[in-house]
Amino acid sequence: MSSTIQIVQEQEQISWTQFKWSQWQMYIAATSHGLCYVNTPDASFDIMSSWLQRHYPKHRIVQNDEGLTLYVEQLTQYFEGNRKEFELTLDLSSGTKFQQSVWAELGKLPHGSTHTYSDLANSIGRPTASRAVGAAIGANPLLIVVPCHRVIGKSGALTGYRAGMPVKTKLLQLEGSL
């Protein structure tokens, strides 16, 4: 008689919760490595769920309001004007190396400042890559926390924002840069 031994590995988990501020509601999610997703205001749960399944296909998605308290607290402090920098662990593994370099540079942009796509391209050592920088910014999974709203056009005009121009305007006003 032969026996079969099965080794069952526990599936890694992504925790999510809903964050609410003023008229906005956002879904946020974190892996065991850190915050991995902040949805656009008023986007549906399905949008977040689809994104998570595409980028973390082997993970279980579980609501965990208590487990994400630190993230919710810091976002609340930011929106209330009591926080200028986030002190959070981030999981940016969903991006390519180039995207990760752009997102890391975005994270260095000071609260209340604005910078151009060209500024970012120069700061990562790729001065001719402004369009690629723009594409990487558009793929940023951590809106607000990785502050892509601080990037404007070369002329100083506000340019596209995945969450919409009213949201970008509100964030820049909140930071005092408009």
Query: Which tokens in the block code for residue 65?
Result: 């309001």
Q: By the 8 A CB rule, do 172 and 150 touch?
A: yes
Which residue in the list 35, 52, 133, 148 is annotated as catalytic?
148
Rounded Cα–Cα distance for residues 69 and 117 (Å) = 33
Are 91 and 142 in contact, with CB atoms under 8 Å apart? no
Q: Which residues, in sequence order, are bridge partners of residue 16?
A: 29, 63
Considering only CA atoms, which of 139, 21, 35 is closest in space to residue 78? 21
Active site residue 36: no
By CB atoms closer than 10 A (0-12, 13-18, 19+), residue 22 is exposed
> Could you give the C-alpha distances from 25 to 17, 21, 29, 47, in angstroms and in order?
10, 6, 13, 13
Q: How far is CA 85 from CA 33, 49, 65, 172, in A?
A: 19, 27, 22, 14
- Catalytic residue positions, numbered: 148
